[in-house]
Structure 1
């Protein structure tokens, strides 16, 4: 629980109970999101500043099912949609959070509040469902077609999830760009066709080699990349994409840019580039679940630091320290 600016503690709260339309879940794994560090820095989210329970990337075991709830049984393993909770977004200022021993899903509906997953799916992999839905929404916003050539900037969890998503939807070649060698190694491990270290290599020249040349005339010669995805959130990525995008290319931006980015629309006119923003997961929260189940070995490689709940405070600190960890998932027995 966030108890004040920069303060997070393990606290005792009343044990939740489930009504006839609810289910009670025992969280078994919960990812730590970058937003959690932000909530800690500001002392929690109104109206629960000083008492914000963390955790929204949850997978758990059902321990009680209300009499009116269908499609789930005690003992089932589920992934959770934090946005569907009527008492407020789970772990994002709502009345509950998943970094807890018990979690109630009120007015629980299968396919809306939760989805049942196979019992052999590792808890920590199942807990990737929520952030991978964010990645899948960014992929969907790019409207990929079979055979597309794709570049993903940023090999953090969202970028890697997007890379897997593009491959699952039929992309012929996916390149991941980053400046950290270990992240690029992980990108290759999850199935990227190639990687580029932009601190050491010329991105344009490498893309011309990997995706061929296209254009000519007033478009100029450009790499044959169809889709770019910005999961890095730095201005240099936007500059690189807009300078090299071929006619009709698409740029999807799920990254949070903390500073304004200057764009010369006059220079972009002839490219007819499509730029789309991507936030959250309007429809993807359980769309991505089947892909995680089918490609669980790839998704498992996204997790850099599984941390047991007894070390949860250290895990949160680790996740909030820039460059210290790529993806922290807290495991609860």
Structure 2
């Protein structure tokens, strides 16, 4: 089959990738749509650094049974997917062939030896290919005639929902969202569904600010002209969502956020950073880091999209075939032109 892969820092299109075969508890799916995630863009450029940081980290179970990822060989990516069921593995109950599904992107091994993440792998195929194997128990049937290129955005929307859930924000509290890329936009959508009535969003990009307004931000600011703190208009505590992920932002938030605020870090900064704890201590700030989502949040995000609570259509700025995946990885560097590019193998 055909698939786009990462090899030695380059995105390549292979014509003869080995076909995935479903085992017990697994289902073979024809990929209809797969969103390109910002984490994939970062991994393509900084994969070695990300792997090195992961090796230094303690106290976290590692998916993949300890397999070493070799960046000099083909790496399969693509975890924001939707597709049609082709066939189930041996002894497996699954939706009928042709059913449109998406799934929580992990894959328990049939022999019980571990769990693979469908994120970056030399073995496990991802959504940038024509076919993929998924876990039958983790499948979510796509309801309400939702098209595949919208269902594929379930995964990034779940990231935003998880951040909002972990924040504990209530409808009467004010939210400040710094950064209106796909993650920040997902946070805004989840805040709106939660009933938060004051959502101040900040981004340098006019296009991203317009998308933030469409998803539910009540105020948008250009940080070159006005701070989000000034627009929030009160010294009362707020819930801040950091969705930028570059050095210096976190310290600036600690310096500027109102006393007793909660700061939720959902942007992934891969660089070493420096903060002044004095800012946080003096104002009794609550600092929380979040990652990923639960299966329940994944399902809830799919429902919100399918029922029209979150309109993801404006986020999709291009739909491309496999041959244009290398172009798409470059094009996503311009926030004025693109937000979410969908690959349709």
What's the TM-score bracket when you normalise by the shorter of the two chains? Answer: 0.7 to 0.9
Contact 2:88/2:94, CA 8 A, preserved across alignment: no
1:203 aligns with 2:228: yes
Residue 302 (str. 1) matches residue 309 (str. 2): no
Aligned residues: 315
Tell me the residue number matched to 1:16: 20
- CA distances 1:77-112 after superposition (whole Å, capped 9, x unpaired): 111222244362224115211111111125x21xxx
Are 2:134 and 1:105 equivalent residues in the alignment?
yes
How far apart are the structure 1 equivalents of 2:339 and 2:237? 27
CA distance in 1, matches of 2:192, 2:302: 15
Give the secondary-structure state (helix, strand or coil) at the position aligned to 1:269. helix
8 Å Cα contact 2:200/2:220 also seen in 1? yes
Contact 1:307 1:328 in 2 (8 A): yes
Distance 2:46 2:256 in 1: 39
The alpha-carbon distance between structure 1 residues 43 and 9, as it changes in their structure 2 partners (threshold 3 A), is: farther
What is the Cα deviation at residue 323 of structure 1? 6.6
Moved more, 252-261 or 38-47: 38-47
1:67 to partner: Cα distance: 5.7
Please give the TM-score of this superposition, normalised by the length of structure 1: 0.85
Gaps of 5+ in 1: 214-221
Question: In structure 2, how many angstroms separate the alpha carbons of the residues matched to 1:184 and 1:67?
Answer: 49
What is the Cα deviation at residue 322 of structure 1?
Answer: 7.4
Q: Runs ≥4 in structure 1, deviation > 4 angstroms?
A: 42-45, 320-324
Distance 2:329 2:170 in 1: 38
Structure 2 stretches of 5 or more lacking a match? 52-67, 110-114
Selected match of 1:165 from 176, 190, 197: 190
User: What value does the CA root-mean-square deviation take over the aligned residues?
Assistant: 2.5
1:47 is matched with: 69
SS in 2 for 1:99: coil
How far 1:129 sits from its partner (Å)?
1.3
Q: Which residue of 2 aligns with 1:279?
A: 291
Of the three residues 197, 206, 213, the one matched with 1:181 is 206
> Which shows bigger deviation, 184-193 or 243-252?
243-252
Distance 1:126 1:179 in 2: 28
Q: 1:238 to 1:78 in 2, by over 3 A?
A: same
Conserved? CA contact 2:189–2:310, under 8 Å: no
